[in-house]
């Protein structure tokens, strides 16, 4: 028994953070967890149930992060836990095709019309990385067009002007990404269709794919302007390029078929490839990319585009993901929509009452609040917000037992377990937090 791993030896967040900081850079395994942009000591969680998480000090919080998206049914949902327990009893990993991954693949294909075939991977990053390789392999072209402030995981090429943790730390790029890598990436402002047109006009026949978040949610929530995604599809297709719609965040969260169900299915545009993660793993590591069968058939072993993974389609992870997806019913989406609407309005009303300039922005049931007066349509707009006011708001909510995303650039996540009791606890905390943001 190694006592370094006995959490009872350091039963509080401050002590755990000190220990973690000795063995892990910054004390965290993913940067936004470190509270750098809001200050203070990150809370180390020891359990989660329903809408609540509990830290190592025994303090309970209403959770509005939901593991950044996967916990759409709430923490420790009995169906997901039961599916995982049953899968564990059958064995942890085989490195062969398995029973569970077939069912998860079928469920994804059944829900999202543009996905004729899908391949499972272990994270959203792997999904986008593989999708851009496949788009390059299919088109034989080198360049990728992305939008400033859209985050697609920590793929080298896609860390050019990314949002999320990169936005939080205001790094335009990451050290360690070579210039030759980003030379093949064109970055234009989000929601700026003329910039997209100009990029294609400047280099016809060179762009393999446009990759976009189906609704941007990693610079705060910035919905696409009406018709933006449809125009993207038509401009890309006119040039022979592919459209990759990244639904790692929005997939299976905004509707049965994600943002596509709210936008593409209604406006009649179709992405060629889509990427997923988060909800399809139910809290375990799963990602996926899929789309047109003629494109997907270029993947090894059928075609020349190599892509693989020791733990891809892992039986425990796919069991969790399938159970999670099966809980994503029409009733759940009605609940998420109503809860997000009520919560956004509550927060906005509290800030308005305290005189805090802010902007509530939504894409379906994902929303965030920008601490500034103006509408946010792109990354430059997002960066004009008052992050100091957000930090004060965040800490007041944290003290009152509400765990918000520890960054002004992230969406707030609700779940099927956020009920009136959880909302009332948030409502009680809001006035003081709004006052803190005002001062």
Quote the DSSP letter at residue 296.
H
151 binds ligand PLP (CB under 6 A): yes
Nearer to ligand PLP, 277 or 315 (CB): 277
Q: Taking CB under 6 A as the rule, which mask of x and - marks residues 204-233 in contact with ligand PLP?
A: ---------x----x---------------
Q: Which of 100, 264, 277, 327 binds ligand PLP (CB under 6 A)?
A: 277
Nearer to ligand PLP, 130 or 396 (CB): 130
Stretch that binds ligand PLP, among 2-10, 46-54, 145-153, 401-409 (CB under 6 A): 145-153
246 binds ligand PLP (CB under 6 A): yes
Positions 63 through 92 that interact with ligand PLP (CB under 6 A)? 68
State the nearest-atom distance from the C-beta of 304 to ligand PLP, in Å: 25
Q: Which of 153, 264, 271, 291 binds ligand PLP (CB under 6 A)?
A: 153
Element (H, E) at 134: helix 124-139
Q: Please give the Cα distance from 357 to 438 (Å, whole number).
A: 9
- Chain CA centroid to CA 8, Å: 32
Element (H, E) at 392: helix 387-399
Q: Please give the Cα distance from 270 to 292 (Å, whole number).
A: 10
State the nearest-atom distance from the C-beta of 372 to ligand PLP, in Å: 22
149 binds ligand PLP (CB under 6 A): no
Q: Which of 13, 123, 368, 407 binds ligand PLP (CB under 6 A)?
A: 123
State the nearest-atom distance from the C-beta of 366 to ligand PLP, in Å: 10
Sheet holding 242-246, edge to edge: 117-121, 287-291, 273-276, 242-246, 207-213, 143-147, 185-188
Element (H, E) at 397: helix 387-399
Number of residues interacting with ligand PLP: please give it, by CB under 6 A: 16
Query: E strands within 283-436?
Result: 287-291, 359-363, 366-370, 402-403
Positions 282 through 311 that interact with ligand PLP (CB under 6 A)? 287
**263 part of the active site:** no
- Residue pointed to by tokens 């392999």: 137
Nearer to ligand PLP, 151 or 260 (CB): 151
Q: Which of 37, 67, 117, 125 binds ligand PLP (CB under 6 A)?
A: 125
Q: Give Cα separations from 37 to 16, 160, 359, 374, 409 (angstroms).
A: 20, 20, 20, 22, 10
Q: Please give the Cα distance from 146 to 123 (Å, whole number).
A: 20
Q: Which of 141, 143, 152, 253 binds ligand PLP (CB under 6 A)?
A: 152
State the nearest-atom distance from the C-beta of 164 to ligand PLP, in Å: 6
**151 part of the active site:** yes
State the nearest-atom distance from the C-beta of 218 to ligand PLP, in Å: 5
Q: Please give the Cα distance from 282 to 70 (Å, whole number).
A: 5
Nearer to ligand PLP, 127 or 208 (CB): 127
128 binds ligand PLP (CB under 6 A): yes
DSSP string of 217-271, one letter each residue: -SSS-BPPPTTHHHHHHHHHHHHT-EEEEE-TTTTTTSSTTHHHHHTHHHHT---
Closest CA to 295 of 100, 107, 133, 105: 133
**246 part of the active site:** yes
410 binds ligand PLP (CB under 6 A): no
**Residue with CB nearest ligand PLP?**
124
The answer to whether 239 touches 199, Cβ cutoff 8 Å, is: no
First to last CA, the chain: 50
Stretch that binds ligand PLP, among 117-125, 131-139, 334-342, 374-382 (CB under 6 A): 117-125
State the nearest-atom distance from the C-beta of 277 to ligand PLP, in Å: 4
The answer to whether 46 touches 10, Cβ cutoff 8 Å, is: no
Query: What six digits make up the tokens of 400?
Result: 């009152």
Positions 317 through 376 that interact with ligand PLP (CB under 6 A)? none
Catalytic member of 246, 263, 272, 381: 246
Binding interface with ligand PLP (CB under 6 A)? 68, 123-125, 128, 151-153, 164, 213, 218, 246, 248-249, 277, 287
Catalytic residues: 151, 246, 278
């Amino acid at each position: 028994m190694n006592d370094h791993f006995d959490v009872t030896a350091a039963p509080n967040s401050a002590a755990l953070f000190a220990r973690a900081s000795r063995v892990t850079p910054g004390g965290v395994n993913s940067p936004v967890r470190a509270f750098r942009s809001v200050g203070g000591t990150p809370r180390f969680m020891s359990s989660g149930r329903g809408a609540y998480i509990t830290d190592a000090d025994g303090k309970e919080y209403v959770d509005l992060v939901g593991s950044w998206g996967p916990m759409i049914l709430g923490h420790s949902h009995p169906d997901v836990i039961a599916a995982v327990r049953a899968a564990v009893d059958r064995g942890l990993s085989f490195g062969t095709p398995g029973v569970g991954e077939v069912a998860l693949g079928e469920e994804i294909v059944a829900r999202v019309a543009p996905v004729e075939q899908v391949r499972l991977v272990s994270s959203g990053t792997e999904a986008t990385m593989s999708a851009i390789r496949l788009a390059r392999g299919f088109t034989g072209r080198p360049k990728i067009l992305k939008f400033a402030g859209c985050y697609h995981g920590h793929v080298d090429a896609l860390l050019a002007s990314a949002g999320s943790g990169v936005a939080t730390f205001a790094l335009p790029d990451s050290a360690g990404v070579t210039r030759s890598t980003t030379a093949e990436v064109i970055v234009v402002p989000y929601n700026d269709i003329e910039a997209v047109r100009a990029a294609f006009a400047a280099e016809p026949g060179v762009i393999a794919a446009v990759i976009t978040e189906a609704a941007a949610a990693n610079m705060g929530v910035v919905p696409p302007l009406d018709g933006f995604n449809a125009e993207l599809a038509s401009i890309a297709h006119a040039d022979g390029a592919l459209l990759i719609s990244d639904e790692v965040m929005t997939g299976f969260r905004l509707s049965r078929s994600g943002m596509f169900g709210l936008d593409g299915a209604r406006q009649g545009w179709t992405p060629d490839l889509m990427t997923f993660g988060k909800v399809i793993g139910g809290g375990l590591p799963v990602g996926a990319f899929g789309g047109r069968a003629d494109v997907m058939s270029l993947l090894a072993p059928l075609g020349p585009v190599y892509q693989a993974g020791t733990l891809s389609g892992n039986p425990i992870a796919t069991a969790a993901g399938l159970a999670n997806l099966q809980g994503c019913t029409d009733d759940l989406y009605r609940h998420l929509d109503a809860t997000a609407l009520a919560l956004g309005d509550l927060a906005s009303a509290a800030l308005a009452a305290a005189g805090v300039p802010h902007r509530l922005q939504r894409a379906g049931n994902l929303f965030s609040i920008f601490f500034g007066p103006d509408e946010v349509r792109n990354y430059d707009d997002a960066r004009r917000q008052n992050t100091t006011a957000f930090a004060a708001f965040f800490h007041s909510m944290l003290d009152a037992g509400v765990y918000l995303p520890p960054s002004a650039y992230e969406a707030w996540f609700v779940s099927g377990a956020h009920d009136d009791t959880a909302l009332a606890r948030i409502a009680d905390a809001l006035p003081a937090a709004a006052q803190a943001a005002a001062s």
